[in-house]
Structure 1
């Protein structure tokens, strides 16, 4: 019995020429049988359009690069499998971030992927290099002519060592460029595509890299559709700017202690970028779950593990409490009496607090925490702010309050926090190390 290849199926209507359509009459195309066939075709094509993507993770993976890639690709509708190359699902990524994978890499050997994307980070990239199962999957990807990609250390350490960049232009993190140059034609672009192979430089280029992966898989129109709501900046590599009103010095003893709550439905990209950047700046970051468990399921189904439950966290005082966004997460924050009380106490004590994306509108505003303050939020939610007069700014600081707009402004948001606690030179040092700002 012959197998029907649905990828080449065309709607019944398209087989009929315009003159035939005229003769048959348009009512023909409204008959139940034809409508049903076209509905089936649409459903089949939608299913066929789902792209399967593999994102491996390991102990020592750069969490920002992994999570941004997963988050953005899932926004585009890709079926992303996060696979641990360790013996367990939970991996200890860099900067103390714990990610729970969907599967072990051994579970993925029989799946055909439309794309394999390797995040960087050390020793994560070296673990990838030594994983024979992952090497076999990516080499088969290359032999079959399907896309594969890597960022930061992974292009040089993994793809290069496997001989998968031979004769191709590629880029990577600056300190691995010498290693890359022996395996590829090394270039210093933020994102480099050569045929079906895509490489990028580091954490600060991860969002650009992820959007380029969408274009590789789905085309430019889809990439533009997804990148708009991310609120990405257009001047990649430039120094960040922000709007500051009523400046005050943010005080702390030793190193700033910062509370980052997370919940089911939290925007994982925002949470991880805030944690990653502030820990790089040597702040003491406490990640607290407002749920009953340490593990939370974020908005794009990334599983993150908090350091403590909120019940334990509220026994300490903080130099800053900062809320990531995500619709479900923001609603969970707003419904948490303990967290709201902690925020009110923070404001009454004239200590810094902040929020971004949905959280300024859904958490701070309803609880009177924006009273007399200028703020911004996710563009579609700015109408909920009592004073949206400064809402067009990507980051707004008003005294002890800091707010920001969305996933694509999170790096700037976190760097502004670093600048307020330390100084601009410290924040720029972190930004340059991450390659968010060009040297």
Structure 2
């Protein structure tokens, strides 16, 4: 989430302010050179295509940017906007053709179908990745992409690798040594299994680029689960059944500064459950710039979305996004109407504390939020729980609890069997 923007002046910037460039001694010039080298960001390429799995792309981008990597999101299509899976639209930073001669420290391919096939069929990308391998640089892929792209290009021969279970046979036929690890590293190749392993995979990439200390620093605020199991644990109080007359209709507002991982995971999971999810921008344009500079395109503006009725309204977090939500009179009015009409609403990360609490939407309710925000809750007695359901309200803690949060919503609306079906397909459990 975007609670901490850890971008202080680099060591080089600090030194240049302290040491006049024309009067520096040789020793000081050496210190500056070392500082430049130490502060040089690792360059990472994340190509995306129509049909890319949005969780795998966005989580990778978000986590690597948290670590300080210079991540370029490149579209292999003819335009920057990409139609990812589950109706999620992502806007790339540039086109893949701009990077034929660029040297990267890491290239990471997201999965998704037909996204992985589209990546595989792009000759420019194939040339860039093969050059990456020849130069001994890190390369990685998740879900279908290890088998469909890297394997087809002959880049996993003799290496231990994993992928989405349905593609293991294809991976084996590429002469890779198949393993069922959630994340597998062999030499310069890193592979992983699917959406439910994307955060582990991304932290593993951080460790390869920056070391374990940085990986631990980044993973802490993510609030990743301590272990994988077959239970997504929910603390539920004042238990009531969530009843809907037909397929659930859900509003997910987004704004500049929204935490992209949380937004994308919520939308992705709920659409997998066949819910009708409306993604609404609270600004005056459909495209928003999320907390880690991922560009997402909403389905409609909030003014239009507010004309409709929803079974559930659910807010992603991100400090900037939550502040935008809290100051949006139309959104606050919509949330109050939702509560007064005895319908369902929820929030994650900064949003319970910064949106729901100050507008009276947590009155008499138990809730949780991002740890640094829990002191703003009037009743933090359940705040240590990863997901809290109190009657018709659901709240959660942060990026690493987003899948549990989303699956808990599916369970409340559509039953535990449906939630477990989705969790198993995504390799969450």
Same-fold call, TM cutoff 0.5: yes
Rounded to whole Å, the distance in 2 between the matches of 1:180 and 1:44 is 41
From 122, 125, 143, the counterpart of 2:113 = 122
From 48, 70, 79, the counterpart of 2:70 = 79
How many residues in Structure 1 have an aligned counterpart in Structure 2? Answer: 407
The residue aligned with 2:164 is 173
Residue correspondence of structure 1 range 2-401 to structure 2 within 5 A = 33=25, 36-37=28-29, 40-41=32-33, 43-48=35-40, 50-183=41-174, 184-401=176-393
The residue aligned with 2:5 is none
* Uncovered stretches (5+) of structure 1, i.e. residues with no partner: 1-30
- For residue 319 of structure 1, report the CA deviation from its aligned partner: 0.3
Rounded to whole Å, the distance in 2 between the matches of 1:38 and 1:403 is 51
CA contact (8 A) 1:242 1:396 kept: yes
> Is residue 432 of structure 1 aligned with residue 424 of structure 2?
yes
- For residue 41 of structure 1, report the CA deviation from its aligned partner: 3.7
The one-character-per-residue Cα deviations of 1:233-261 (angstroms, maximum 9, x if unpaired) are 01124421110000111121220000000
The one-character-per-residue Cα deviations of 1:118-164 (angstroms, maximum 9, x if unpaired) are 00001110011111110011101111110000000000000000000
CA contact (8 A) 1:61 1:94 kept: yes
CA contact (8 A) 1:419 1:426 kept: yes
SS at match of 1:317: coil
The one-character-per-residue Cα deviations of 1:163-195 (angstroms, maximum 9, x if unpaired) are 000000000001101000111001111111111
CA contact (8 A) 1:237 1:435 kept: no
Rounded to whole Å, the distance in 2 between the matches of 1:123 and 1:344 is 41
The residue aligned with 2:408 is 416
- For residue 36 of structure 1, report the CA deviation from its aligned partner: 4.5
CA contact (8 A) 1:263 1:289 kept: yes
* Uncovered stretches (5+) of structure 2, i.e. residues with no partner: 1-22
- For residue 338 of structure 1, report the CA deviation from its aligned partner: 0.3
CA contact (8 A) 1:251 1:319 kept: no
Say which is worse superposed, 300-309 or 187-196, in terms of deviation: 187-196
Say which is worse superposed, 425-434 or 38-47, in terms of deviation: 38-47
Larger Rg: 1 or 2? 1
SS at match of 1:376: coil
- For residue 38 of structure 1, report the CA deviation from its aligned partner: 6.4
- For residue 35 of structure 1, report the CA deviation from its aligned partner: 8.2
Rounded to whole Å, the distance in 1 between the matches of 2:228 and 2:46 is 25
- For residue 33 of structure 1, report the CA deviation from its aligned partner: 4.4
Higher relative contact order (CA 8 A, sep 6+): 2
After superposition, the CA RMSD in angstroms is: 1.4
CA contact (8 A) 1:346 1:353 kept: yes
- For residue 315 of structure 1, report the CA deviation from its aligned partner: 0.2
